[in-house]
């Protein structure tokens, strides 16, 4: 007899509040993980957190999320926010799916992702560059679950990300008249003569060239 069945000997599962149903189900499905992460938290405190998180979730949507939880599809115990996303989800990716697709898109730019996935990835990318993938995934998960939940409660649909198209910039080539008549053999010869003159006076080749060019422009 499983945990829920034993509990139903004393009280009907259906008579529990939605937060109590979720807590009881988590204890039953993920006993060791629940104990590891939540055993030190007073049950009333945790129930209060769950109750606050589930505000706005209808009974029908809650039952949809609970059905997914009890199906045993997930190896790891979901966070309360992730469970909430299951309740109001349509075809939305879970945070784990979004993280997977974000990583794939970083390697293959043509890989399809969603708008929220792209936003969350961009916000944690600096952590990825630092090489701390665990922390990047943790922050990504928190960002994603929060934004998806808010979007779902507003009735928004999952939207595919489309990379902006680069707008070609029209350029025009302009011809500029050279300040030094470098196509004039006589001019070049005069530059050479003056440069040699100033080099002989102790200037560097660069200083001499600049002085020669200035002198010829002044004479023009």
Task: Verify that 144 and 95 share a domain, yes or no.
Answer: yes
Task: Verify that 76 and 103 share a domain, yes or no.
Answer: no
Phi first, then psi, for residue 114 (nearest 5°) are -100, 165
Asked whether the predicted pLDDT for residue 182 surpasses 70, the reply is no
Rounded Cα–Cα distance for residues 51 and 64 (Å): 17
Mean pLDDT of the chain: 81
Residue 178, in any domain of the structure = no
Phi first, then psi, for residue 179 (nearest 5°) are -70, -30
Task: Verify that 76 and 10 share a domain, yes or no.
Answer: yes
Rounded Cα–Cα distance for residues 153 and 88 (Å): 7
Residue 140, in any domain of the structure = yes
CB 84 within 8 A of CB 144: no
Count of domains observed in the chain: 3
Task: Verify that 76 and 5 share a domain, yes or no.
Answer: yes
Residue 172, in any domain of the structure = no
Domain that holds residue 210: 185-219
Task: Verify that 80 and 4 share a domain, yes or no.
Answer: yes
Asked whether the predicted pLDDT for residue 7 surpasses 50, the reply is no
Asked whether the predicted pLDDT for residue 109 surpasses 90, the reply is no
Segment of 59-73, 110-124, 150-164 carrying the highest mean pLDDT: 110-124
Q: Which of 36, 65, 88 is the last residue of a domain?
A: 88
pLDDT score for 49: 92
Task: Verify that 141 and 123 share a domain, yes or no.
Answer: yes
For 35-55, what is each residue's pLDDT tens digit?
A: 888 888 888 899 999 999 888
Rounded Cα–Cα distance for residues 30 and 72 (Å): 10
Residue 81, in any domain of the structure = yes
More confident residue, 169 or 133: 133
Q: Residue 181 — very low, low, confident or very high, per pLDDT cuts 50/70/90?
A: very low
Q: Residue 3 — very low, low, confident or very high, per pLDDT cuts 50/70/90?
A: low
Residue 173, in any domain of the structure = no
Task: Verify that 138 and 208 share a domain, yes or no.
Answer: no
Residue 212, in any domain of the structure = yes
Rounded Cα–Cα distance for residues 67 and 23 (Å): 14
Residue 146, in any domain of the structure = yes
Rounded Cα–Cα distance for residues 68 and 55 (Å): 19
Which of 140, 133, 127, 132 has its CA nearest to residue 99? Answer: 140
Task: Verify that 82 and 123 share a domain, yes or no.
Answer: no
Task: Verify that 142 and 205 share a domain, yes or no.
Answer: no
Q: Which residues neighbour 39 within 8 Å (Cβ) at sequence distance 6 or greater? A: none
Task: Verify that 149 and 124 share a domain, yes or no.
Answer: yes
Task: Verify that 42 and 8 share a domain, yes or no.
Answer: yes
Task: Verify that 116 and 156 share a domain, yes or no.
Answer: yes
Residue 176, in any domain of the structure = no
């Amino acid at each position: 007899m499983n945990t829920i069945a034993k509990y139903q000997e004393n009280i009907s599962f259906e008579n529990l509040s939605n937060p109590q149903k979720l807590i009881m189900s988590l204890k039953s499905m993920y006993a060791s993980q629940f104990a590891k992460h939540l055993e030190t938290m007073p049950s009333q405190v945790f129930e209060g957190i769950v109750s606050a998180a589930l505000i706005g979730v209808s009974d029908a949507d809650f039952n949809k999320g609970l059905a997914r939880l009890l199906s045993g599809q997930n190896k790891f115990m979901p966070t309360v926010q992730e469970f909430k996303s299951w309740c109001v989800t349509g075809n939305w990716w879970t945070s784990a799916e979004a993280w997977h697709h974000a990583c794939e898109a970083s390697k293959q730019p043509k890989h399809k992702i969603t708008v929220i996935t792209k936003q969350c990835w961009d916000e944690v990318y600096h952590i990825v560059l630092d090489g701390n993938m665990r922390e990047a995934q943790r922050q990504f998960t928190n960002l994603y679950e929060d934004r998806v939940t808010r979007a779902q409660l507003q009735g928004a649909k999952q939207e595919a990300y489309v990379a902006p198209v680069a707008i070609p910039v029209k350029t025009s080539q302009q011809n500029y008249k050279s300040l030094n008549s470098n196509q004039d053999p006589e001019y070049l010869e005069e530059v050479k003569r003056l440069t040699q003159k100033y080099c002989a006076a102790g200037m560097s080749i660069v200083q001499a060239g600049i002085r020669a060019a200035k002198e010829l422009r002044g004479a023009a």
